[in-house]
Amino acid sequence: MKERTKLTLILAAFAACWFLPLGGDPLWGPIHASLSLVKWYAQEHVLLCLVPAFFIAGAISVFVSQGAVMKYLGPQAKKLVAYPVSAVSGTILAVCSCTVLPLFASIHKRGAGLGPATAFLYSGPAINVLAIILTARILGPELGIARAVGAILFAVVIGLLMHLIFRKEESARQAEGPIVMPDDQSERPLWQDGLYFAAMIGILVFANWGEPRNAEAGVWAAIYSAKWIVTGVFGVVLIGSILAWFKRDELSFWVDSSWTFAKQILPLLLGGVLVAGFLLGGPGDSASGIIPNAWIEKAVGGNSLLANFFASFVGAFMYFATLTEVPILEGLIKSGMGKGPALALLLAGPALSLPNMLVIRSVMGTKKTLVFVGLVVVLSTIAGMTYGAFF
């Protein structure tokens, strides 16, 4: 299928979702809820959230060099540098638990230390700018902040623990031969690329700045009132940097890479939203889903150890396409899920899945994979119980 045909189909599907005629007699409950959720997502989150995120992801794949990755994640890198870089890398990556695997396998094969590599493996799908914005906007700022802090902290802790547990094996692996570091071939100064990325992230963040629930919310309300001015400033900076510093072929590669992310993620996201609405219900007071609320309340309601562990364990084996965890969690919370188990699922679910585990095992073996999965589940359970106790 030609790329132009794929783009036409995606645009047609988006328009159909945006203009769904749901104002008449409601359809059978779960179907009506599913379509309502799709329409709401198309109108509220595609243009301002997803489109900027695709361009950011495309820019990362084109303009972030392998040399830079190995410089900060390789075994020769200082731990005070490698672990924070690995942990925060996910904040600008829009990848799912399966999409991150080629990146992880590549840096591990090239000689990146097990600790930084597994920190990157966790943080990549666990947290990104778009996920922070969507989580805070849809599920509340407290849960969005808790997810961001928890994921960054988990990445460092998991990486350090994996390094300590398997330090002998890693020492033997790295002693087999020298690591060949690829050259960084960027023609631009680092500050120019940094400003370019900062402008895109600024557009994403401020275009989606939500209206505070409290009219007297201080700084939050002030920023909201000026959100489009700030977004426009970042837009001018982005356009200026593109015109001044980037070549035409670079921009072509950037657009192609962004389109690759879009055509991979959008169909999965549409399917995930449809399934979430059908199973768990639509936005607001629309029809409920096919799963009774009582079942959800019994399994993951409250803040017990069992509820948090169940959310972490089940989430670890489920597959979440990028961003689909947000509508799924919204439906679960609406159906009675406690805030602690919700955070536990957010910290365990996007980072792991059964397909993800099988590929990780092929890269670093059964023992290391089991330890990695166990650390994610246990830490997510503890974080969920702690968060639930305070909120």
Mean pLDDT by 10 residues, the chain (391 residues): 77 76 62 76 75 78 68 69 75 60 65 80 76 78 88 90 85 58 63 88 80 62 85 93 89 86 74 72 64 75 89 81 74 84 90 78 86 94 92 80
- Three-state DSSP class for 171? helix
> In whole angstroms, what is the distance from residue 260 CA to residue 7 CA?
11
CA trace torsion 292, 298, 300, 303 (10° rounding) = 140
Residue type, 362: S
Which tokens is 56 given? 């950011």
Which tokens is 113 given? 């230390």
Angle CA 320–324–330, to nearest 5: 120
pLDDT for the residue 330:
79
Label residues 268-277 b or e (16+ Cβ within 10 Å = b). Answer: bbbebbbbbb
Neighbours of 305 (CB within 10 A): 12
pLDDT for the residue 185:
56
Phi-psi category of residue 218: left, alpha or beta, with phi > 0 → left and psi -120 to 50 → alpha: left
pLDDT for the residue 182:
47
- Three-state DSSP class for 127? coil
> In whole angstroms, what is the distance from residue 212 CA to residue 231 CA?
18
pLDDT for the residue 241:
92
Q: What is the DSSP string of 334-363?
A: HTT--HHHHHHHHHHTTT--HHHHHHHHHH
Residue recorded with tokens 């602690």:
340
Q: What is the DSSP string of 291-351?
A: S-HHHHHHHH-TT-HHHHHHHHHHHHHS---TTTHHHHHHHHHHTT--HHHHHHHHHHTTT
Distance of alpha carbon 187 from its chain centroid, rounded? 30
pLDDT for the residue 282:
67
Burial class, 84, CB count within 10 angstroms (exposed 0-12 / middle 13-18 / buried 19+): middle
Q: Delimit the domains of the chain by residue range.
A: 26-174+185-390
